[in-house]
Amino acid sequence: MTDKDLAIRIVKLGVTRQREHPGQYIEANADADVKSAGNAAIANSLEFLGKHRVVIDVQPCICEGGMGFKFIIDPTLVEELSDDQAIARKIQAIYGGTQSETSLTVADLLDDCERVTINSVYREDLLTSIRELQVCFDSACYIACLALSGKILEICLKQLMIDHKILFDDSWMIGLLLKKIRESNCPKYIDPSLGNLGNIINQSRIPAVHAKERIPVPSKEQAIMVIHAVVDLARRTIIAP
């Protein structure tokens, strides 16, 4: 069994058991295939999954077959990893390059957003979108990256408007949100280049959603530029409003 296969088996075990018994630790050796890999390999895999915030705690334990480990999967991932394919994609994305600067930047933003209070209307939508953005970037799905970046950008602008009591319609998109914020003389600094950023996002986002004949495929460099700009806005409006 490869390291990747072992990680997938461990996550499958954890997700399945935590759906049945939320909050309880899962013994890694409860899965015969995982147990056969040996405690050293299991410990390395759990450490790897912990590093990438899939596993949030590991404890040694005495199991039926002797010493072993018990662990907990991040509860926020239990619903997201809804089937075997979703789990495999998640682990594939981790092994595929989550050490990139952009991916780590998105992961850090997710950690920070999980710790702060966000308007309840948008909280889960924002956190889920950030998680999916990291997976899409690691999988080189750059059209999806721009679509998710646009969604995160809209949430940040709406949160800004809520914080400063600026009325808006929930159906408004980036351009109209920015226009209303500027017209309101909002004291919060808004980068003038966000309008251009919105245009770049919409060039890929709108054709992708509406199945136009020709979809301009963004480059990796465009995706990186957009993601870092959106992360900066999120930090200004969500983390440090």
**173-189 pLDDT tens trace:** 888 998 899 888 888 77
**Cβ 185 vs Cβ 165: under 8 Å:** no
Range in 33-42, 176-185, 196-205 the model is least confident about? 196-205
Residues of the chain with CATH 1.10.10: 3-94
Go through 148-185 and write b for each residue having 16 or more CB atoms within 10 A of its CB, e for each that does not: bbbbbbbbbbbbbbbeeebebeeebbbeebbebbeeee
Inform me whether the pLDDT recorded for 210 exceeds 50: no
Q: What is the pLDDT of residues 125-141, one digit of tens each?
A: 999 999 889 888 877 88
CA distance 69 to 57: 10
Residue for token pair 């969500």 = 238
Q: What is the DSSP letter of 63?
A: E
**Cβ 30 vs Cβ 13: under 8 Å:** yes
Task: For residue 234, count CB atoms less than 10 angstroms from its CB and return exposed for 0-12, middle for 13-18, buried for 19 or more.
Answer: buried
Which residues does 97 contact at the CB level (< 8 Å), separation at least 6? 103, 138
What 3-state DSSP class applies to 60?
strand
Which strands make up the sheet holding 55-63, listed edge to edge? Answer: 26-27, 66-73, 55-63
Range in 37-51, 87-101, 164-178, 207-221 the model is least confident about? 207-221
Topology of domain 3-94, per CATH? Arc Repressor Mutant, subunit A (1.10.10)
What 3-state DSSP class applies to 73?
strand
**Cβ 107 vs Cβ 98: under 8 Å:** yes
